[in-house]
Structure formats: structure tokens, C-alpha cells
Amino acid sequence: MSALDFTAMMREEKKIAKAKLKNASRAGVEGEIEGGQISSEGAVEEGIEKKKITDTDTGKIEGNETIVNSIPPIALPTAPPLSPPSPAPAGLDYYADFIDEETEMAIASYARSHQNWNTLKHAKRRVLEIPKGDVDWGGCDGSYIETLCNVLISMGVFPSKLPPNHLLINEYTGCQGILPHTDGPMYNSTTATLSLESSTIFYFKKRLRSDEIGVVNDEVIGGKVLLKPRSLVVFAGDWYEKYLHGIDEEQEEECGLDVLGAEEGESVVRGHRISLTLRHKY
């Protein structure tokens, strides 16, 4: 598909999405947060102001309706992804600057506009699950998600027969992280995560078999990736099935040569971060 054809397809999808919005009423996201070690415990947050969104971390104030309705098209990446060298398994790809700043602001505003965030009881971070059946997926603001999904399919990240149909948004503040976990068998073994607003180091460690627990060192890190704002990380195959993935609870970290996408000695200071994880749920 040419770049021109792809852009035209995106414009047509936006027209369809806007038409759907006129006939759809906004519905709340319900259901449990599933997969890995994520829990649905915790209360739904109070309603988030939609007319004006204040980002206390960046000092920016954005009008949600204006941004959400002016989402630019997403171009297919022209540069190849970064991948760990052999003997690391194939299936881990990192795309720096996958989207531009305008799109980053638009999708962050889209995420904040939702009313149905859950705060996890123990982890304290906020999460938002959006299945494809929700009206927001195909609504005016959700047209970004449709666009992103089609780009990932065009890139070959997801096969057209197993397209992304499940979105999980995580919001991290300060040193918040996530315990090492797997996404589990309820999803196809491919995960694509887009990072917004702040950097963090994402790591993989070997998933032990039952007979290896207590025998094999489970602290050995199999890979690290610096997830910068506007970057996309995709992992599949062995990285999905044979490794756990997580984020340490650190306010500041220093990168070594083993961190994909980073310069040696590069310092990472955590700030407010939003991640969007797309998968195909069976």
C-alpha cells in the first residue's frame, strides 16, 4: 500500500468514525482489568474535567475537544526498528519517535478525557481498559485508536486475521512501576506499547519453569529498553511467552550499554507517563 493510499484510507476512516459518533451515546467502560498480574481492585476515580485538562507535570493546559478532533494522520515508520543483537531471541523491536508531539498531545488528552479510570489498590497507579466494543473505540476521539491499529497491521506487527482489539492504558506518576508479569494466554502472543510524556526503563527477565524455581537465579535480566516519549515497543514470540516484563520503582535511573535505545550513561528521571498497550484478545 502506498503512503498516499494509506493516508486516504485514514481520512475515510475518520469520516466513518464521526458518522458513528452522531448515532452513538457515550458509554462507560466496565469489566475487570485482565491479564498478567493486573488486578481490578480499587475504586473508580472521580470524573475528569473534559473541557480543560491541566497537566501539572508539564505545565500545559489543553482544550480536550480541540485536540481530540484534530488528530493528524500517523505515518508508517521509514527507519528500521532497534532490536537486541544475537544471541537474544528475535521478536523485540523498538521504534523511537513513532509519533510526533502533536499526536502525543492528542492521545494524552484522549486518555485523560475518560471517566472510568480504576486505581489499583496496591500498586496505586491508574488503569483504563477499553475493549473494541466500547463506543469510544470508533468514536471521534477513538478514531486515533483505529488509525494506530491499522498502522500496526500495515507494518506487520499484527496479522489482519488477529488485529488488535483490546487497549489498556496505564498512568504512572513519579517512581511508580509495575511488577514483572506475563500478559497470559488470553491474548495472542504480541504486545505493542506506545509511551507518552516521560521516559522509563522497561526490562525483561526469564520466566522460570516450576522445576527451576529456587534453583535458577530469577534476577538475571534478559533485556532492557529505554521507553522514551512517543516511542513504540513491540515484543512477541519468546519475549512474550518465555520472559516476564516489568518496570522498577525508581525515581531516577542510569542507562548502561545493555539498554536498547539509550546512550551509555544516559540519565532517566521519571515524570508523569501514560502508556497504551494494544493486544489481540481471544
**Residue 210 confidence class, pLDDT cut points 50, 70, 90:** low
- Per DSSP, the three-state class of 110 is helix
Its pTM stands at: 0.72
pLDDT digits (tens, 9 = 90+) for 229-252: 999 999 999 999 999 999 999 999
State how beta strands 259-260 and 221-227 pair: parallel
Buried-state track 91-101, b at ≥16 Cβ within 10 A, e below 16: bbbbbbebbee
Domain that holds residue 58: 3-279
Q: What average pLDDT score do residues 26-32 get?
A: 34
Lowest model confidence (mean pLDDT) among 44-48, 136-140, 179-183:
44-48
CB 247 within 8 A of CB 254: no
Residue 95, strand partner residues: 232
The closest alpha carbon to 107, from 149, 78, 165, 76, belongs to 149
Q: What average pLDDT score do residues 104-128 get?
A: 87
Looking at residue 218, which CATH number applies to its domain? 2.60.120.590
For 249, other C-beta atoms within 10 Å of its C-beta total 14
Q: Domain count for the chain, please give it.
A: 1
The closest alpha carbon to 175, from 154, 200, 196, belongs to 200
Q: What average pLDDT score do residues 135-155 get?
A: 73
Q: Pick 1 or 93 by higher pLDDT.
A: 93
d(CA 255, CA 128): 30
